[in-house]
Structure 1
Amino acid sequence: MNPRWQKVLLEYLEALAVALILAFVIRTFVVQAFKIPSGSMLDTLLIGDHLLVNKFLYGTRIPFTDKVIMPLEDPQRGDVIVFEFPEDTSKDFIKRIIGVPGDVVEMKDKALYRNGEKLVEPYIKHTDPNAQQRRDNFGPITVPAGKYFVLGDNRDESYDSRFWGFVDKEKIRGKAWVIYWSWDGPSEIRFDRIGRMVK
């Protein structure tokens, strides 16, 4: 091979290797893309929303372990988080934190109470006027140390902590940050949602 072309090829391979390493580092430690596959967070998040998740805020997880280092802050009430689904850790779920360690959570006929105070939740959606046990009436329960109680904003159509329990802090992947793309199929791009912060 011509030495000049050999040098050019080597430079391209080096650039590609650096790009792949940077992409791996960014995905592992800083941000990760996440797609909304279901309607459990309607109307806050729509099916077809694509998010960036901040993985750095709650601390960086050492690859292939549950050990977290250098957290900037703890998960807070109201944060929308992505986490490993406790019943199948190969899946990621997204829900809103309702209770942090030590909180007492209770629901009475769809109304949610935390530490004895009724919550004002402008983000929730109800699709079923009827109240059901477990889904709409539960507790009071106390959130244990190191765990979080999460619910979907589409309260009547969300499979969440009411059914499978708490989320371990070590299983939280990050905080939902911003919608970078949104569509309802190739013919319907939702431009008004692109760049919207997740709240």
Structure 2
Amino acid sequence: MEQRLFIVACIMYAFTLCTLRLKKHNKLSSPKVFRWWHFAYLVLILNCAIYILLFVMGGGSGEAISPVKLTLGVVASLGCAIWGYFGSVKATPEQREKLMKKDLEWANTVYFAGFVASFVMFFFIQAFKIPSESMQDTLLVGDQLFVNKAAYGFRIPLTDIRFGQFQPIKTGDIIVFRFPAKDKKQINCGDSQYGRDFVKRVIAVGGDRVEVKGGQLYVNGEKVPHQPYERYEQVDRLPFEPEEDLDLYQQVWENHQLDNYYGMYLRDNFGPVTVPENHYFGMGDNRDNSCDSRFWGPIPRENIKGKAWFIHWPFDRIRLIK
């Protein structure tokens, strides 16, 4: 989602360059033209600034901005722009020059902030806010954390090309990734997850064979002991029924459609499947309340944004993530 932030900064930068060109050719000397330019510029500056602020403070997780925040932002920007328009009606040439200088200074601040924030989020650190209970008790709803995007290598913006990997992705890592859906119409766990960022713990890597029987996890045929970070509910487990066509099962799972056929049965019984190369199997620590790879398939390497690193808010939960 940092691409959107970069695009917003580019729009603001392009508009500023156009303004400088118009000024150079004396196209803004007319009071009427200047007033409308000043109005449009204020609308653009304020909306870009509000978007950047809400995006960064919201964690950059790709979640849609709430209608209330969006409405308030638009109303506030239009109100300020209208005030600016009427304030420039009787402005003298010297006052118009001062207004333009001030507008350009604010524009420089806005697009510079957008470029810096998108650069940092592209290569180094991204903020992320936990939206669900799937990783409880390791990560709680509302926890705000930093994601180390350099841990698994730098990604060239707008591509899936990576370089400079400092450490491999391994079992036990908590990763943040873009949900593996290429179609907005794809439904998983009751809704479209397209474009959203998820956080899960890596359970298996490419080539591993994964199976769940009665809520018990098996990797490569071996029972995986329960870990202290895992959480389970006291529920009646659904009985395990062996699959007749494992090839078809594997195909449906890799196509991210398994939950549309099996539903909650996958909570207790899953597989066996083999994780494809350059893919990963992720599960939530809150095993009975997690929409994860059991339901929607493997995680492609190119979708992984980084490693969950540090909880910075709330104050009483500040800690490194393990």
Range into which the TM-score falls when normalised by the shorter chain? 0.7 to 0.9
- How large is the RMSD of aligned CA atoms in angstroms? 2.3
Instruction: Give a deviation string over 1:82-116, Cα, whole Å, max 9, x none.
Output: 11112344100111100101111111111111122
In the alignment, structure 2 segments of 5+ residues that lack a partner are: 1-93, 182-192, 239-264
Relative contact order higher in (CA < 8 Å, ≥ 6 apart): 1
The answer to whether 1:46 aligns with 2:144 is: no
The answer to whether 1:192 aligns with 2:316 is: yes
Name the CA shift for 1:96/1:29 in 2 (closer, same or farther; >3 Å).
Answer: same
Paired residue type of 2:293: S
Aligned-partner Cα distance in 1 for 2:297–2:115: 37
Q: Give TM-score scaled by structure 2 length.
A: 0.53
User: Which stretch of the first structure deviates more once superposed, 118-127 or 147-156?
Assistant: 118-127
Instruction: Give a deviation string over 1:57-87, Cα, whole Å, max 9, x none.
Output: 1112221222222222221101111111123
Larger C-alpha radius of gyration, 1 or 2?
2
CA shift for structure 1 position 117: 2.2
CA shift for structure 1 position 11: 8.9
The answer to whether 1:130 aligns with 2:236 is: yes
Q: Which of 271, 283, 295 lines up with 1:151 in the alignment?
A: 283
Runs of 4+ residues deviating >2 angstroms: 9-24
Aligned-partner Cα distance in 2 for 1:20–1:140: 46
Partner of 2:123: 29
Instruction: Give a deviation string over 1:114-144, Cα, whole Å, max 9, x none.
Output: 1222222221111242223321112222111
Aligned-partner Cα distance in 1 for 2:147–2:131: 15
Aligned-partner Cα distance in 2 for 1:46–1:11: 41
Partner of 2:162: 68
Aligned-partner Cα distance in 2 for 1:84–1:11: 36
Q: Which of 303, 311, 322 lines up with 1:171 in the alignment?
A: 303
Aligned-partner Cα distance in 1 for 2:149–2:295: 26
The answer to whether 1:91 aligns with 2:196 is: yes
State the aligned residue count.
187
Q: Counting helix residues as a fraction of each chain, which structure ranks higher?
A: 2
Aligned-partner Cα distance in 2 for 1:147–1:82: 14
In the alignment, structure 1 segments of 5+ residues that lack a partner are: 183-190
Same amino acid, percent of matched pairs? 51
